[in-house]
Amino acid sequence: DAGVIQSPRHEVTEMGQEVTLRCKPISGHNSLFWYRQTMMRGLELLIYFNNNVPIDDSGMPEDRFSAKMPNASFSTLKIQPSEPRDSAVYFCASSFNRPYGYTFGSGTRLTVV
Amino acid sequence: LAKTTQPISMDSYEGQEVNITCSHNNIATNDYITWYQQFPSQGPRFIIQGYKTKVTNEVASLFIPADRKSSTLSLPRVSLSDTAVYYCLVGVPSGGGADGLTFGKGTHLIIQP
């Protein structure tokens, strides 16, 4: 099992550009989570899906952020337009009905200049 | 969601047993307690999960008193490679999928030679 796969690993973009982060969850997992991590705020839950349906997006900072899960094997997190304060590491995680817990990807380090 | 409180940092020496305590006074009846470990530049990794009493696996032990208002993660005979951030989380699994868990700032454990 390759685990949760995120791409790209690193992204540097200019303010105002659109950014798309991608995630492939572990096959068979039915829940997918997007987190953002910064030094100041720690790990924040942005949104999560159960069976491809968004359940709670209350953590999404503002309308510039959107997430989709068109099928069980793929999800995207889009930021449009990006701003320097969006710079962070974005993690995707998947799970199948705990108690086995989440499996996190390696993250995407986003830098907006 | 139940709020958790854990020390910001701890340090110890190789070969020692390390206990990290987490307070969760508002834990709900259906909540489970889960601990994660995070190394720099990596996503958090599931360590252990429990509901009550004691749980042990090949990595750690988790002690939960009867009132469940706190829990203690015990790492036996730590090594330098156990230097990481440890997160305590409280949440409830659901039949249709996992709920989004809230990570706090975690405990930064530093192991010295």
Q: Which pLDDT score is estimated for B96?
A: 46
Q: Which of B44, B93, B106 sits opposite A104 (nearest CB)?
A: B44
User: pLDDT at residue B102 above 70?
Assistant: yes
- Minimum distance, in Å, between the CA of residue A81 and any CA atom of chain B: 26
Average pLDDT value over all residues in chain B: 89
Question: Does the bond joining A61 to the residue before it have cis omega, within 30 degrees of 0?
Answer: no
Pairwise CB contact (< 8 Å): A101 & B46: yes
Q: How many CB atoms lie within 10 A of CB B77?
A: 10
Lowest mean pLDDT among A31-35, A50-54, B83-87, B88-92: B88-92
Mean pLDDT value of segment A50-56: 90
Burial class (CB in 10 A: 0-12, 13-18, 19+), A76: middle
A52 near A74, Cβ under 8 Å? no
- Minimum distance, in Å, between the CA of residue A37 and any CA atom of chain B: 10
- Minimum distance, in Å, between the CA of residue B15 and any CA atom of chain A: 28
Using pLDDT thresholds of 50, 70 and 90, give the confidence band for residue B1.
low
Q: Which pLDDT score is estimated for B18?
A: 98
Using pLDDT thresholds of 50, 70 and 90, give the confidence band for residue B41.
confident
Mean pLDDT value of segment B15-29: 94
User: pLDDT at residue A95 above 90?
Assistant: no
Q: Which pLDDT score is estimated for B111?
A: 97
User: pLDDT at residue B58 above 50?
Assistant: yes
Using pLDDT thresholds of 50, 70 and 90, give the confidence band for residue A27.
very high
Q: Which of B87, B95, B100 sits opposite A45 (nearest CB)?
A: B100
User: pLDDT at residue A98 above 60?
Assistant: no
